[in-house]
Amino acid sequence: MSTEIDYYELLECSRDADDATIKSSYRKLAMKYHPDKNGGCKDHEAKFKAISEAYDCLKDPQKRAAYDRFGHAAFQNGGGGHGGNPFGGGADFGGFSDIFESVFGEFMGGNRGGGRPQQRRGADLRYDLEITLEEAFHGKDTEITVDVSSACETCSGSGAAPGTGTRDCTVCHGHGKVRSQQGPFVFERACPGCNGAGQIIADPCTRCRGEGRIDKTKTLAVNIPAGVDEGTRIRLNGEGEAGQRGAPAGDLYIFLHVRKHALFEREGTTLYARAPISFTTAALGGEIEIPGPDGKPNTIRIAAGTQSGREVRQRGAGMPVLQGRGRGDLVVRIEVETPTRLSARQRELLEAFRETETGDECPESQGFFAKIKAALG
């Protein structure tokens, strides 16, 4: 560093902070000032390098002890400021790429510790499948066809021609990464000789050209359980994209979409239906039948005097519980329909009925007009 700012101050920690506190503070600051998140801002890049250097020192018990005792002088005059290291072994300030990877490695997929590079599993894939409400009710076994890269059968996914193998890359010596130093900082990147694989194929498979995988159309069996809903996800393990050169395959995720139904609307396991009835059925009572998604009729009893908007609930006539027992309910919303086409006889009967009305037949409307009269004095 060109200016010697206190490492604890850079990490916004007290000198007696424990390791967990220091790491947590670094993670927060690293995410804030990382160059990739700030459009290459030079000030943020300099800040990121500074906090990375501070964290690299304070995370190491020996370095921290030396810093607490001697300050920055512990790493000067051959002590590690520019290529030295008071604890031996050359430059030890692994640059900000190295440090960032050690803390956020689960997101960056890096390989720490100088060992051989880990195989990277194939990518997960998504498949969208539309089904009917009836299929969601009963469940079904079906087949889907997907285009996906699969392990090459000729080389068994290794990428090497049958009878041959791989050897360590002469550039990275099998590590998959190379390092370069700029001042006190060490930068790490994928090896250009093997593209980060660590291994070189001397005689590539002629079918997959050394990739270890080929594009293929596969037909897969899918079991859709009863009770699935919009957005339900089904995972087929290992049916995603094949990994390179024998690495594990990813998974295939099937997202279900339930087609809009002509009669029912659904909320969880509850089904809703609208049922228009005649005004005589509403007045006198009766029964109507609503076919369920299982194909069986549900008898809905209409009480005498039912008003438009009333909801009648039929217990256990809804959708099945996914991976459970029982069913939800069917809720029928009653809508009383006023007749628009009357025969002469029907009109005659209604006129006769109107002559017998006293107002007590419809107490709600009678009360409403009474309120209007009262309001008008």
Q: Which residues are annotated as a binding site for Zn(2+)?
A: 152, 155, 169, 172, 191, 194, 205, 208
C-alpha to C-alpha distance for 315 and 327, rounded to whole angstroms: 8
DSSP 193: T
C-alpha to C-alpha distance for 103 and 252, rounded to whole angstroms: 30
Exposure string of 17-53, with b = 16+ CB inside 10 Å and e = fewer, is: beeeebbebbeebbeebbbeeeeeeeebbebbbbbbb
Task: At 236, list the tokens.
Answer: 């087929």
Residues 254 and 232 sit within 8 Å (Cβ to Cβ) = no
Would you state the torsion angle of the CA atoms of residues 96, 101, 102, 107, taken in this order, to the nearest 10 degrees?
150
HSE, side-chain direction, 13 A CA sphere, residue 25: 20
Nearest Cα neighbor of 133 from 18, 275, 291 is 291
Tell me which amino acid residue 166 is: T
HSE, side-chain direction, 13 A CA sphere, residue 275: 27
Annotated binding site, which residues?
152, 155, 169, 172, 191, 194, 205, 208
Task: At 342, list the tokens.
Answer: 């009357």
Give Cβ neighbours of residue 148 (< 8 Å, ≥ 6 apart).
Answer: 125, 215, 216, 218, 239, 240, 241, 242, 252
C-alpha to C-alpha distance for 53 and 82, rounded to whole angstroms: 12
